[in-house]
């Protein structure tokens, strides 16, 4: 049972345009969401997060939007750069229940072409 889903395995965008990566979840107990970026042969690195008390969080070129009623979150990268090419994972946890497990999606491979 996949509690966190990333339905697009890959996404290609041109440099300078917007990249939108999507993530859906099924567990209504999830209250904290994170995005990680992963290059080949390296561990994932934290990118940005959002708590369920917010609907938007911004950090430079990266913005995460949360729609709790739809159980959907998205990561926007504007403008996209070739160095953003990587696999992006969304993750969720239920911190208010002490649920420290991070449940990950299957990832979306982003390719930004010059």
Partner 1 sequence: DVKVTQSSRYLVKRTGEKVFLECVQDMDHENMFWYRQDPGLGLRLIYFSYDVKMKEKGDIPEGYSVSREKKERFSLILESASTNQTSMYLCASRRGTEAFFGQGTRLTVV
Q: Using CB under 8 A, which of 26, 46, 58, 78 touches partner 1? A: 46
CA 33, 39, 41, 43 torsion-angle sign: negative
Of 27, 111, 32, 100, residue with least CA distance to 64? 32
Q: Using CB under 8 A, which of 23, 34, 77, 112 touches partner 1? A: 34
Question: Peptide bond before 40: cis, by omega within 30 degrees of 0?
Answer: no
- Between 21 and 44, name the residue whose CB sits nearer to partner 1: 44
Query: Bridge-partner residues for 111, per DSSP?
Result: 12
Q: Using CB under 8 A, which of 60, 70, 100, 114 touches partner 1? A: 100
Chain positions contacting partner 1, by CB under 8 A: 6, 9, 32, 34, 36, 38, 41-46, 49, 89, 91, 95, 100-107
């Amino acid at each position: 049972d996949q509690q966190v889903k990333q339905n697009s395995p890959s996404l290609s965008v041109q440099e300078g345009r917007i990249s939108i990566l999507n993530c859906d979840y099924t567990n209504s107990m999830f209250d904290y969401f994170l995005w990680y970026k992963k290059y080949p042969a390296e561990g994932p690195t934290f990118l940005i997060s959002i708590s369920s008390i917010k609907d938007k969080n911004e950090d430079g070129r990266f913005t995460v939007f949360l729609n709790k009623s739809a159980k959907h979150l998205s990561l926007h990268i504007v403008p996209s750069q070739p160095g953003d090419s990587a696999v992006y994972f969304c993750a969720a946890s239920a911190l208010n229940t002490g649920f420290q497990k991070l449940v990950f999606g299957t990832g979306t491979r982003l390719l930004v072409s010059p």
